[in-house]
Amino acid sequence: MPEISLETDRLRLRPWRAADSDAFAALNADPDVMRYFPATLTRAQSDAMIARAVEKAEAGGICFQPVEEKKTGAFLGFVGLNRPVPDVPVPETFEIGWRLARHAWGKGFATEAARCWLRFGFETLHLREIISFTTVSNVPSRRVMARLGMSEDPSGAFAHPALPEAHPLRDHVLYRLAVPEDHLPRSA
């Protein structure tokens, strides 16, 4: 699959560039941005995350990708589809996810970019379902999931296997979105 570039009215969803590394490292070092993750990331960890995303894109075309504002060219963070790591107990499909810099919060960018990726997943990849998951306390992301039309699946709740038993972020919720009826293949 070739590199994926998508656009909305206000945003460009594009492949990673070397120039993204400074802004991405700053985003991952921000304690407010990372409050629903176990820790902030070092520059090396942030760069490694970009390298893994680029490898995924080269292998299959799909990964969390940068989002930039069209008007300013500003790097806002990432949004996209991704295959969850195998040890996370979720359905075998793509997840939709996002991480935006603080200056991009409260402007509807996560929802706008995620809607674009959901359309791509259903219309181009012909996915039957897309999921999302987060720690129980991540109310802002759960609100985005609800705005996207996703529904919480209480039977899919899980304890994240990478976090110790007593960790306050260990309990996760699962949200699902099935392909809309107008995207289903027509019977002959």
Q: What is the pTM of this model?
A: 0.92
Report the pLDDT value the prediction gives residue 187, as an integer from 0 to 100.
44
When pLDDT is averaged across residues 163-171 and rounded to a whole number, the result is: 95
The helix (H) or strand (E) run that includes residue 28 is helix 21-29
In eight-state DSSP terms, residue 61 is S
When pLDDT is averaged across residues 51-60 and rounded to a whole number, the result is: 90
Residue 186 pLDDT greater than 70, yes or no: no
Phi, psi for 48 (deg, rounded to 5) = -65, -35
* Polymer length in residues for the chain: 188
Residue 1 pLDDT greater than 50, yes or no: yes
Q: For the ranges 18-27, 56-65, 141-150, 170-179, which has the lowest average pLDDT?
A: 56-65
Report the pLDDT value the prediction gives residue 2, as an integer from 0 to 100.
64
Structural domains of the chain ordered from first start: 6-132 (3.40.630.30)
When pLDDT is cut at 50, 70 and 90, the band that residue 188 belongs to is very low
pLDDT digits (tens, 9 = 90+) for 75-134: 999 999 999 888 898 888 999 999 999 999 999 999 999 999 999 999 999 999 999 999
Question: Chain-wide mean pLDDT for the chain?
Answer: 93
Residue 108 identity (one-letter amino acid): G
Cβ neighbours of 154 (radius 10 Å)? 8
Helix residue spans in the chain (DSSP H) = 21-29, 43-60, 109-123, 139-147
Between 12 and 186, the more confident residue is 12
